[in-house]
Amino acid sequence: DEAGHALAAELSSAGALVVYIHCDVADKAEVDAAVAATTAALGTVDGLVNNAGLGMRAIRDNFLQDPPLFWQAAPDAFADIIQTNVVGPFFMARACVPLMVAQGFGRLVNVSTSQSTMVRSGYSPYGPSKAGLEALSVVWAKDLAGTGVTVNVLLPGGASATDMLPPNTPKEKLLPPQQMRAPIVWLMSDASSAHTGERYSAKDWPEHLSDEAAATRARSATQEIPHIM
């Protein structure tokens, strides 16, 4: 929360209009209040990036060294991951999408993970939660066809330097979170209006290319359901 306020202050000092709202996406009442506060401050909601999530540290802090088998997960921790990673994006989208449909424009980006992680031993329920989110993304894109609201999936393309990993994880091979910036900006823009129900890897987004060329390089083959085998 303190870091969020600090970032908001930094952006505001640079001239950006920023409203910082702390919200637990797994709590519907908090989500509804956050979206209401956003529209009160900004007048509308044009884009939603579902990035909040819980990882395997909720199950076991040293999960990389000692991967938990699925039956070793505490039931409450298992449920928290599903609630945050699957139900949370639904709560957020449910609160924002009607506003977007009413104005004929909106962008949803659901942050996912690699397909191998979805079925990796020791990654239950985190991996399956992201497979569920990708399936939801396909359905939402179909439900919103013709409304001016698009839904796409973006994944880092590798392990990112976030607190979802144990603090002793070697940083040399981790991807910087900033690599998500360029694809998110494009996916939020008018330029991506013809693209929905698609999947992109930020690691494969060459920033030296034009946005369309970079998007083509980063786009996965179209598929009806996550290809996890």
Query: Catalytic residues, which ones?
Result: 126
Cα separation values, 36 from 8, 57, 84, 88, 95, Å: 19, 32, 20, 16, 9
Nearest to 174 by CA among 185, 162, 184, 183: 162
Cα separation values, 42 from 35, 38, 45, 128, Å: 10, 6, 8, 35
Q: How far apart are CA 71 and CA 60, in angstroms?
A: 13
Helix ranges (H only) for 73-198 are 75-82, 88-103, 115-118, 126-143, 181-188
Cβ contact 192:186 at 8 Å: yes
**125 cis-preceded (ω within 30 degrees of 0):** yes
Cβ contact 175:157 at 8 Å: yes
